[in-house]
Amino acid sequence: MVSICIIFDLDGTLIDSESLCNQAFLDLLPQLNDTLESLIQRYRGKKLASILADIESRLCQSLPDTFEQHYRQRVTELFSRELKPMPGVIEMLKATNFPKCVASSGPSLKIRQALQVSGLAPYLETISSAPMMLVPGSQSQACSNTQHMQWALCPANAWL
């Protein structure tokens, strides 16, 4: 019998977070002369560290040491009010009869908040942030609670 666990990315796959994350930049950095859509196109899928480096380069100045903390706080505020699942995601998760989990490069707290606020938490087995998944030879945290597979041993049975 083949065991399958479907592993979903979070941002832009399950939840519509790109606009909110980029809105936080516009809220905190009024000197950015960009539209929300242009920021989404420029930074979609990029890591926060590289985005911040790009912003510093574009503004020709260093961001304050506390900027990331303020940014994450602003994103949390926006998520708590406006975060939604991507269209069709809830229906798809309801119809999928395999164990499902989330893997993301974001912090675990952000992942959990996003799933709760968007209403997706009840449909997913567990979550895993990237650092938890990259331990060679270990059972993935993403699917360890499902008792259906070991990521390190059965990657062909994981659908990403």
Same-domain status, 69 and 96 = no
Nearest to 107 by CA among 145, 82, 79: 79
Identify the pLDDT of residue 155: 43
pLDDT for 126: 67
Number of structural domains found in the chain: 2
142: pLDDT strictly greater than 50: no
Contacts of 104 (CB under 8 A, 6+ apart): 9, 10, 11, 111, 127, 128, 129, 130
Please check whether residues 108 and 128 belong to one and the same domain. Answer: yes
Q: Per mean pLDDT, which of 7-16, 105-114, 147-156 is the most reliable?
A: 7-16
Q: What CATH number does residue 37 fall under?
A: 1.10.150
What CATH number is associated with residue 144?
Answer: 3.40.50.1000
Query: Which three-class secondary structure state does DSSP give residue 63?
Result: coil
Q: Give the confidence band of 84 by pLDDT, cuts at 50, 70, 90.
A: very high
Q: What is the pLDDT of residue 141?
A: 44
**pTM score:** 0.69
CA distances from 60 to 3, 47, 56, 57 (A): 52, 20, 6, 5
Pair (151, 88) in one structural domain: yes
Where does 32-123 show beta strands of DSSP type E? 100-104
Q: What is the CA radius of gyration of the chain?
A: 17
Nearest-CA neighbor of 127 among 9, 3, 2, 4? Answer: 9
> Looking at 41, 67, 82, which one is the last position of a domain?
82
Q: Which of 50, 82, 114 delimits the end of a domain?
A: 82
Structure confidence at residue 130 (pLDDT): 56
Question: Which residue range forms the structural domain that includes residue 138?
Answer: 5-15+84-159
Q: Report pLDDT digits (tens) over 112-122.
A: 888 999 999 99
* Mean pLDDT for the stretch of residues 92-119: 87
